[in-house]
Structures are given as structure tokens and as C-alpha cells.
Amino acid sequence: MSRIELKHIDKFYGDNHVLKDINLVIEDGDFMTLLGPSGCGKTTTLRVVSGLEKPQNGVMTIDGQEMINADLAYYAEPSKRGLNLVFQSYALWPHMTVRENIAFGLKIQKLPKAEIEKRLQDSLRMMRIEEYIDRYPNELSGGQQQRVAIARAVASNPKLLLLDEPLSNLDARLRIDMRSELQRIHRELGTTIIYVTHDQVEALTMSTKIALFKKGELSQVATPMDLYMNPIDLEAADFIGNPRINFLEGTARLADGKLHVKSELGEHIFDAADMTDEPIPEGEFPCVVAIRPEQVQIFEEDGPGRLPVTVYANQPAGSETLVSLQAGKSDFLSKQIGLAHYEINQKVFVQIPPEKINIYDAKSTRLIKRAR
């Protein structure tokens, strides 16, 4: 079991308040990704969990046992926390073979030779690097070295595995392969994983939950699908998704328990069941209509529920085509699967499922109507 709870964690570097009242629960068996741009606090949070950093305020427990109590100036040593950490750099001993690198920590634990050998072979097999057992790190590629670093981490059977941007040094193809391996390790071992990245694709494809950070604060904690479908505010919506989400200006008002929205996409009426708990301003107020590019369907003929628009640009990219469109004074993007061709200034028609639209209060920037 490895349930981690952070309560009111504050971390300062001098006058710089890098973690601001962080409250986060990571359930046993979660693959929790800490996601956000550089400098948002995600790596500092990981270092607090690992014991490499001491917060000035707050409490952290693992399985109900206090590991941090800043009020009492109590900080359990990293060795007492039952975890292993894999860094962005591989941190392998250059003078040791793969076998020696993986077995080193097990020998420190004074495990029996038979147990060391079993764990060694199991971790090699899990990371598919058995053939490199007698090679030195300088004889391995970057991807192979990263597999060795992860094999070394899992060989000790940690109840908690911390990974700090472990794939950022790899090329695109290797990153895809390693994402698959990490998913498989999580499924086979059931280990709780905390993973730090600024790459939203990594977060969305591997995680069971994502904690989105913004300027030292925890912005949103959700499943990958809920975070993608319903970002909590405009900044989160702009950060998640590639290509980025479309934003269009609009106006909204609450009448008869329903949200009435007008924009260049037309007029929509949304039921109360689709609205969040955010307070709704009185009267008519400015809002932002947000829609993912893949939800914008293009047709060359008019039909029910379709809106006339103009093609501004056509960008075929092999497996998909990005089409820039104009409706009135608003520009927005459509993503079509496969190759499609439209002429510049061509008149076409778009259809957008109303249930896929997000509405944000322009002033507070908060989500007031969710997609489903």
C-alpha cells in the first residue's frame, strides 16, 4: 500500500514562494502525473515527496504515517519513505556494468545472493534489456541507459516510484516506446507512480490522474479525459491540447435556469445539468466559447445545424489536415483526420456538437458550462 497525502505544503526559496498551500492525495496504485510549464512547482513537489526538499509548512503522510510535519520540524529521511527516484539524467555508474548498476542497491540492502539475482533478472526482463547485462553505460544508447535506470529503480520493489522527466532526453520514437514500457510496468507491478513532465502527451497517455500546476499552485486534479474535456479555467484550457483549443468571444445570460450563449458560432442554450458550480453573473455578461479543433466538422454542402464559414488556410500533415476557418470576425481551427483539401477563401459549412462546447466566464476565466 502506498497512499500519499500532502496537506497545506508551502515551500520558499528565500522570498520566492514556489509551492503555495499544496493539497494533494495520491491513492494507492495511481499513476499520478504532475504537469505544467517550467517553474510551476511540479519538480519541487516531487522533491518534497522524496525527501530531497524540506517544506516550511505542511504535513505529508504515506499510508497514514507522517513523513513530514513542518510544525514539529520532523522530516523522515528518504531511506525511510520506501521509494525510488529516477532522474532526467540516467545517473548510472560509468565504471559498472548493467548487472552491477542494478545489483548495487540490492547489495546495500544485504539481500541474499539468490534474491539479488532473481530481482536482477526480473527487472532486466521487464525492461527488455537482458542482452545488455554485461555492457557498460558508454556502450549503450540513451534509450537503453534510461531502461537500465528504470530497471535499477524497480528492482528494489519500491512501493512508490518517482520519475522526474525521465524521457525528455530521448528522441520522439524512443519516447513513444518508453511510454508503453512505463504503462506496462505500472500495470504489472501495481506500484504507485508519481511522474513529472511538461509534456501533455505523456501525461494524457500514461496517467490515471493528472495534477495540473500553475505558478506554484495546484490548478486542477482530474483524470486525463476530464482534464482534456473540461479544463477548469482558460489558462488550463489553453495549455492542454495540440493543436490548441479554439477560443471565441461571446455573451451569455442565465434565464429560466438555462444558459443562453451568443457568439459567431450562433446561439446555443445549455441546460442546468451541464453547468458547473461556479457563480453566474447577473444579466448579460462576456463569456468565452471554447471548442476543440477535432470537434469542428466541415461539410461542403449546407444542412441542418450547419454554419457557413470561409477557409482561411489549409494545412495537410499526412495523417491529419488542419483547416483555419473564419466566421465573421472570429478565426478558429478544425482538425480533419486524413488528407483533405480546401481552397483558400472557399465557402464551406461547419457543424459543432453543442455538448462538446465549453463556456468560460470571461472575467473570472472559470469554467461555467462543461462538455460531455
**Chain position carrying cell 513530514:** 68
Do 217 and 260 belong to one domain? no
Q: What CATH number does the domain containing 264 carry?
A: 2.40.50.140
Do 173 and 311 belong to one domain? no
Mean pLDDT of 146-171: 88
Do 77 and 226 belong to one domain? yes
Taking each helix axis from N to C end, the angle separating 172-189 and 113-127, rounded to the nearest 10 degrees, works out to 130
Which of 233, 254, 288 terminates a domain? The answer is 233
Q: Please check whether residue 298 is in contact with residue 348, taking contact to mean a CB–CB distance below 8 angstroms.
A: yes
Residue 1 has pLDDT above 70, yes or no: no
Do 229 and 244 belong to one domain? no
Output 146 or 365, whichever has higher pLDDT: 365
Q: Please check whether residue 272 is in contact with residue 258, taking contact to mean a CB–CB distance below 8 angstroms.
A: yes
Which of 233, 251, 268 terminates a domain? The answer is 233
Residue 178 has pLDDT above 90, yes or no: no
Do 180 and 317 belong to one domain? no
Do 196 and 338 belong to one domain? no
Please tell me the total count of domains within the chain.
Answer: 2
The 10 Å CB-count burial string (b at 16+, else e) for 234-253 is bebbebbbeeebbbbebebb
Do 266 and 220 belong to one domain? no
Whether residue 166 is preceded by a cis peptide bond, meaning omega within 30 degrees of 0, is no
Which of 169, 203, 233 terminates a domain? The answer is 233
Query: Which residues is 306 bridged to in the sheet?
Result: none
Q: What CATH number does the domain containing 176 carry?
A: 3.40.50.300
Do 219 and 84 belong to one domain? yes
Do 179 and 104 belong to one domain? yes
Q: What percent of the chain has pLDDT over 70?
A: 100
The reported pTM is 0.91
Domain range for 229 is 4-233
Do 216 and 287 belong to one domain? no
Chain segment 195-238, per-residue pLDDT in tens? 999 999 999 999 999 999 999 999 999 999 999 999 999 999 99
